[in-house]
Chain A
Amino acid sequence: MSSSSTAGGWRELHLSLDTPWAEVHHADIATAMRTRAVDTSLGEETSRTVSGAAPRTSEQTSRAVVELRGIRKSFGSTEVLHGVDLVVDPGEHVVIFGPSGSGKSTLLRTINLLEEPSEGSVRVLGVEYGPGLGSNERRGSAIQLRRHVGMVFQQFNLFPHLSALHNISLALRSVQGIRRREAEERAAVALRQVGLLRWAAHFPGELSGGQQQRVAIARALSLDPEVMLFDEPTSALDPELVGEVLAVMRELAESGMTMVIVTHELNFAREIGDFNVFMDQGLIADSGPRGFLDRCDNPRTRQFIEAVL
């Protein structure tokens, strides 16, 4: 992508912000987001993400891809999230880390409503999907929400009875209603993006963990999501297979995809994280922009980072 086209993308975004958000076509947003994200890597003066630690004003968040406000979640009588706010901007890579049981996976899963929050607002691309803060707000359905949000799971969750290709084409046919032939062709393209075209006819059971996770990433990407969620994508992998999955994620990040990643791979987090979130006991205990992992001075955060690295 050339820098001239990215500049165009910037202008397009600002123009579109003059119109009410609901009227903006999603494709326009997607284009604008991708191109803007390239800007963040090119020059810091064009990017807000470097100032991520500063409080985000409503003007800033109006173009956010994901906005969580006051998220509380209880399982039975146990509350695991005690009111969490998180904003993810277009093209931003948010990394969430913290001890197990701190609520980071639950938080991630509220973004696409796999966990229905008990309280709070889940806004994606400006549309409210969660319980909401105001009572008179119109809400989108969970299915609409999930069509904008891709997710990759720790356990891959490929469909074991379908080949790699059909794992992807089933999703395409079910969600976008396209014909089998076209779905299979697009699935093949998606597999090629993660370097697994040769394995198209193989079943998940015949693939290594790393390959399975790459198929899972391809499956989520084939539906053109606006944001990708990663729930400990490398935690179930043999150490030698972690690299290939991280490589795919790195490439995806460089292409400008908006990403929210729950991970224990702090080296990867340091490299990729535009905004870093440390969760502890159901709250965001600490957070900061790029460089946060090396600079943070909160003793609890430091202690955790040093223990993991």
Chain B
Amino acid sequence: MSLLANYDWSLIWENKEDLLHGLLVALEVAAVALVLSVVVGLVLALARMSKPPVSWIAALYVNIFRGVPALVSVIWVYFGVSLLLGINFTVFQAGVIALVLLYGAFISEIYRAALQAIPRGQKEAGLALGMNPIRIFARVTLPQATKIAIPNIGSMFIGMIKDTSTFTVIGLLEVTRVTQNLNSTTFQPFVLYTAAAALYVAASFFFDFVFRAVEKSLTTPPAGGIAKFLTGRRRRRIEFVVKDLEALSGRT
């Protein structure tokens, strides 16, 4: 206790705005990157499940970028692309691209496993009904695969938030960079980095809750208050159609 009392914990409260702003930046980068990663991941998963030349390229990509650390990725994108191609990204753009390059590869593997877990009979049922393959994918296979993939995508998102900490190196003002800046004037690393850790953990808890709610809403029948709210309209519409028909058949 006395040990902890020797530190100036009030620093956290005094700099709460900077720290929270840093968290916000981290979350923004991660959120934009998540959306793009899911799109890239899905395309990669389909490429990897298709015929050889394409599937080899996709597999090569996945294996390379799963192995690259976020720090290296962002330095490539920010400095490397600038040197080689003369394209200068903002730090925000570079952070997003660096994450998408890595997490697109991870999420493609998540989606590949999820798509392969859908029984063959689902696609066959769609075909037998005369649905075209694109529609079967969009309305039958993909929704079921997404339900399977959601928990793992949630874990990936928490990983993405943590990986934004390496973007300190290009000067993105996220939590870790803010912490470093504060530390350079106050010399209280223990206090400040503990606060940073707490913010990351809080974000992790929060998004675990969010993804759990999404997961619940995708169960059949949907469970949880949020899900009931979201699917209530659909359910009421079914009840309406059914009542309509019952009334009609009652009359005849």
Spell out A's residues near B (CB within 8 Å). Answer: 112, 114, 142-143, 146-147, 149-151, 153, 155, 157-161, 163, 165-166, 170-171, 174-175, 184-185, 187-189, 192, 197-198, 200-206, 216, 219-220, 223
Contact = CB atoms under 8 A, between A and B. Distances in A.
Interface in B130-157: 130-132, 135, 139-140, 143-144, 147
5 contacts: A146-B129, A165-B242, A174-B129, A185-B241, A188-B244
A160 B124 contact: no
B238 A165 contact: yes
B249 interface: yes
A228 to B, nearest CB: 11
Contacts, number: 100
Contacts of B132: 143, 174
Chain A interface main SS type: helix
Contacts of A205: 220-221
* Interface bin, chain B: 20 to 34
A198 B242 contact: yes
Nearest to A189: B245
Given A150-B128, A175-B129, 4 more contacts: A146-B129, A174-B135, A188-B245, A205-B221
Given A188-B241, A188-B242, A201-B238, A112 B128 contact: yes
A188 B248 CA distance: 12
Contacts of A114: 124, 127-128
A161 B147 contact: yes
A201 B220 CA distance: 11
A214 to B, nearest CB: 15
A185 B221 contact: no
B162 to A, nearest CB: 32
Given A161-B220, A184-B237, A197 B129 contact: no
A235 B14 CA distance: 71
Most buried by A among B132, B235, B241, B244: B241
